[in-house]
Amino acid sequence: ILNVEQSPQSLHVQEGDSTNFTCSFPSSNFYALHWYRWETAKSPEALFVMTLNGDEKKKGRISATLNTKEGYSYLYIKGSQPEDSATYLCAFGSGAAGNKLTFGGGTRVLVKP
C-alpha cells in the first residue's frame, strides 16, 4: 500500500486568517493528485485534480500547488470562513494503479468565528 501523509491532522483557524496544510506522496509513478473537501454528514466533494509538476489550481479562496519531483502538495485557504470547516483529503493516483486512488488521513479544519 502506497504511503500518503497529510499534516497536520487537525487545525483550528480564526475566522479571517489564512492557513495551509500539506499532502506528501511517493515521487515515483505519479499520475494525479486529487484534493477533496468532506463536510460532516455530506459526501466528499472534489476540489482539484492536479497532474503536472508546478501546477497551481484555484477555486475561490482555496488554492493548491503541486511538486511531483519532491512529492508534496499544499492546499491554501485565504481568509478562512466558518463554512470552510471540513476535513480536506488528498488522494494520490499512481501510474501503476491508473485511476485507483490512495487517500491520506485528512486534515480536519475548524474555523472559529
Partner 1 sequence: EADIYQTPRYLVIGTGKKITLECSQTMGHDKMYWYQQDPGMELHLIHYSYGVNSTEKGDLSSESTVSRIRTEHFPLTLESARPSHTSQYLCASSVSTGAQETQYFGPGTRLLVL
Q: Which residues in 15-34 contact partner 1 (CB under 8 A)?
A: 31-32, 34
Which of the ranges 13-21, 41-49, 64-72, 73-81 carries the binding residues for partner 1, by CB under 8 A?
41-49
| Beta bridge partners of residue 49, listed in sequence order | 34
* The 19-24 sheet, strands edge to edge: 5-7, 19-24, 72-77, 62-67, 56-59
Which of 71/104 has CB closer to partner 1? 104
CB of 28 to partner 1, least distance (A): 16
Q: Which residues in 63-102 contact partner 1 (CB under 8 A)?
A: 89, 91, 93, 99-102
Given the DSSP bridges, would you call strands 19-24 and 5-7 parallel, antiparallel or unpaired? antiparallel
Q: What is the spatial distance between Cα 85 and Cα 83, in angstroms, rounded to a whole number? A: 5
Which of 19, 106, 107, 111 lies at the binding interface for partner 1 (CB under 8 A)?
106
40 binds partner 1 (CB under 8 A): no
9, 49 in Cβ contact below 8 A?
Answer: no
38, 91 in Cβ contact below 8 A?
Answer: no
**Rule CB under 8 A: which residues touch partner 1?**
1, 4, 31-32, 34, 36, 41-46, 49, 51, 89, 91, 93, 99-106
